[in-house]
Amino acid sequence: MAVLLLSAIILPFGAGTAFATNNITNGTSNGTNPTINHNLTNVTDQTKTVANTTKAAGSPASVSFTSKQINTAAGNVTKFVQTNNRLPNYVTIGNVEVTMPQFLQLMTTNLLNINKGLNITVTIKTVTTPADPPETVKSGDIQKSEYLTLAQSIKSAGTAPGILNTTLGKINFQNTIYTFSKILNFQNINNRLPNFVSVKPWNTTVSTTTTTNTTTSNVQSILNAIGTAEAKYADVQGQSSASVMTQCGYGDCWADSSWLYEHLTAKGIESRIMEASNPSGLYYLHRWTEINIGNGWVVWDYAKYNSQHYGELGYGPFVVEEGS
Share of residues in the chain with pLDDT > 70 (%): 71
Residue 174 is given by DSSP the state H
Contact 34, 92 (CB under 8 A): yes
Q: 3-state class of 89 per DSSP?
A: coil
Residue 58, pLDDT score: 44
Helix or strand (DSSP H, E) at 242? helix 242-248
CA gyration radius for the chain?
A: 20
Which of 224, 216, 236 lies closest to 263 in space, CA to CA? 224
Q: Judging by DSSP bridges, how do beta strands 250-251 and 234-235 pair with one another?
A: parallel
Q: pLDDT tens-digit profile of 60-107?
A: 457 999 999 999 999 899 888 888 888 999 999 988 999 999 999 999
pLDDT value of position 283: 53
pLDDT digits 0-9 by tens, 28-40: 333 344 444 333 3
Is 3 a residue whose pLDDT tops 80?
no
List domains and CATH numbers for the chain: 32-200 (no CATH), 216-320 (3.10.620.30)
Q: How many CB atoms lie within 10 A of CB 181?
A: 29
Residues in the chain: 324
Rounded Cα distance, 13 and 48, in Å? 49
Enclosing H/E stretch for 140: strand 140-143
Identify the CA nearest to 273 among candidates 230, 234, 313, 246. 313
Model pLDDT, residue 261: 83
- For residue 272, what are the contacts with CB-CB under 8 A and spacing of at least 6? 261, 289, 290, 292, 297, 319, 320, 321, 322
Render pLDDT for 273-308 as a digit per residue (tens, 0 to 9).
887 765 555 556 778 888 888 777 788 999 999 999
The predicted-structure confidence for 232-270, as pLDDT tens digits, reads as follows: 999 998 888 888 898 899 999 888 988 998 888 777 788
pTM for the structure as a whole: 0.55
